[in-house]
A and B are shown apart, each in its own frame.
Chain A
Amino acid sequence: MKKINGKKLFEKIQEKRENFYNPTFRNPLRMRNGLWIGFLIFSAIAALLFWSVLYMYYEVTYRKQITDKLVDTAWEITGLYGAADFERSISILTRSNNYFAQVISEKDNRILMSYTNEGVEGGTQSSSIAGDDIFTKLDDTDGYCFYYAEDDSGNSRWAVEAIVLANVDGYRHILVLSCSTAEIDMLKQTLMSRGGISLAVVLALSAVFAFFLANFYARPFRHLNDAAGEMAGGNFDTPFIPEGPKEAVQLAETLNLAEKEFRATEQLRRDFVANISHDMKTPLTVIRIYAEMIDAFSGGVPEKRAEHVKKIIEETDRLTELINELMELSSLQSGTLKLQYEDFSMNELIHNVIDRIRIKDMSQGIEIQLVADTAYMVHADRQLIHRAVYNLIHNAVKYSGESKVVKVKLIPQNNQLLVQIIDQGIGMSQEELKHIWERFYRSPDLGNQIRGNGIGLNIVSEIFKYHHIPYGAESRLGKGSTFWFII
Chain B
Amino acid sequence: MVYYIKTKGWQILAVLLIGISLFLVANQYNSIASRFQAEIQEKTDEAVPVVFLCPQTGYYSFVGEDAVWAAKYAVSQINLQGGINGTPVRLIFKDTRSDQSLAASYFLGASREVPAVIGPIDAPASAGIAPLLEDTGTTSIASYSYEDIRTEYRPYTIAFMNDSEIGEFAAVRLWKEKNPDIKDVVIFTDSEDDAKSDAVSLFQKELPGIGLNILDVVDISGTRSMRRYEQCAIQALNKKADGYISLLSAEDYANVLLQLRKRGVSDGRFITASFSAVSENLLDAAENSLDGTYIWDKFDVNYPGYDWQKLVKAYQASHNGNMPLNNTVPEIYDAVMALCQCYEELGLTGTETDPVSKAKVCGWFNNSPVIHGIQGDFRWENGEKEADYHFFVFQGREMKALQNVPAE
Interface residues of A (CB under 8 A from B): 75, 78-79, 81-82, 138-139, 141-144, 163-170, 172-173
Contacts and interface: CB of A to CB of B under 8 A. Distances in A.
A374 to B, nearest CB: 53
Contact of B237 (A79, A139, A143): A143
Nearest to A82: B262
Contact of A167 (B227, B231, B265): B265
B251 interface: no
A79 B229 CA distance: 10
B234 A163 contact: yes
A173 B234 CA distance: 11
B264 interface: yes
A78 B240 contact: no
A142 B230 contact: no
- Most central of B226, B227, B240, B264 by chain A CB within 10 Å: B264
Interface string B221-241: 000001100110011111010
Given A75-B227, A167-B240, A170-B240, A144 B234 contact: yes
Nearest to B265: A167
A401 B231 CA distance: 117
A15 to B, nearest CB: 49
Given A164-B237, A164-B238, A166-B237, A144 B231 contact: yes
Contacts of A79: 226-227, 230
12 contacts: A78-B234, A82-B263, A139-B238, A143-B231, A143-B234, A143-B236, A144-B231, A164-B237, A164-B238, A166-B263, A167-B238, A173-B264
B38 to A, nearest CB: 59
Contacts of B264: 166-169, 173
Contacts of B236: 143
A164 B230 CA distance: 10
A142 B234 CA distance: 7
Given A166-B237, A170-B240, A81 B263 contact: yes
The 6 closest A-B pairs by CB, nearest first: A143-B238, A143-B234, A166-B263, A166-B264, A167-B237, A168-B264
Nearest to B216: A142
- Most central of B227, B237, B265 by chain A CB within 10 Å: B237
- Dominant secondary structure at the B interface: helix
A128 to B, nearest CB: 22
Given A165-B263, A166-B262, A168-B264, 4 more contacts: A81-B262, A167-B263, A172-B240, A173-B264
A172 B237 contact: yes
B238 A138 contact: yes
Contact of A172 (B226, B227, B238): B238
B189 to A, nearest CB: 15
Contacts of A163: 234
B263 A142 contact: no
Interface in B194-245: 226-227, 230-231, 234-238, 240
B304 to A, nearest CB: 39
Contacts of B235: 142-143
A457 B238 CA distance: 108
A142 B231 contact: yes
Contact of A164 (B227, B234, B262): B234
Contacts of B238: 138-139, 141-143, 164, 167, 172
- Dominant secondary structure at the A interface: mixed
Interface of B: 226-227, 230-231, 234-238, 240, 262-265
Contacts, number: 49
B266 to A, nearest CB: 8
Contacts of B230: 75, 78-79
A143 B264 CA distance: 15
Nearest to B227: A75
A221 to B, nearest CB: 58
Contacts of A169: 264
B73 to A, nearest CB: 44
Nearest to B262: A82
- Most central of A78, A139, A164 by chain B CB within 10 Å: A164
Contacts of A144: 231, 234
- Most central of B231, B235, B236, B238 by chain A CB within 10 Å: B238
Nearest to B235: A142
Nearest to A173: B264
Contacts of B240: 167, 170, 172
Contacts of A141: 238
Nearest to A83: B262
B163 to A, nearest CB: 32
B389 to A, nearest CB: 30
Contacts of A165: 234, 263
A168 B234 CA distance: 12
- Most central of A79, A81, A142, A163 by chain B CB within 10 Å: A142
B219 to A, nearest CB: 11
A142 B230 CA distance: 11
A166 B266 CA distance: 11
Nearest to B260: A167
A82 B237 CA distance: 15
Contacts of A78: 230, 234
A78 B264 CA distance: 13
A75 to B, nearest CB: 6
A119 to B, nearest CB: 24
A278 B238 CA distance: 116
A142 B232 CA distance: 8
Nearest to B241: A167
Nearest to B261: A82
Contacts of A143: 231, 234-238
B264 to A, nearest CB: 4
A163 B235 CA distance: 10
Nearest to B226: A79
B372 to A, nearest CB: 47
A75 B234 CA distance: 11
B241 to A, nearest CB: 8
A341 B36 CA distance: 88
B173 to A, nearest CB: 24
Contacts of B231: 142-144
Contacts of A166: 237, 262-264
A240 B262 CA distance: 92
- Most central of A75, A143, A166 by chain B CB within 10 Å: A143
A99 to B, nearest CB: 19
Contacts of A168: 264
Contacts of B237: 143, 164, 166-167, 172
Nearest to A75: B227
A81 B236 CA distance: 16
Contacts of A170: 240
Nearest to A144: B234
B311 to A, nearest CB: 41
Nearest to B258: A82
Nearest to B263: A166
A119 B262 CA distance: 25
A173 B262 CA distance: 12
A5 B230 CA distance: 61
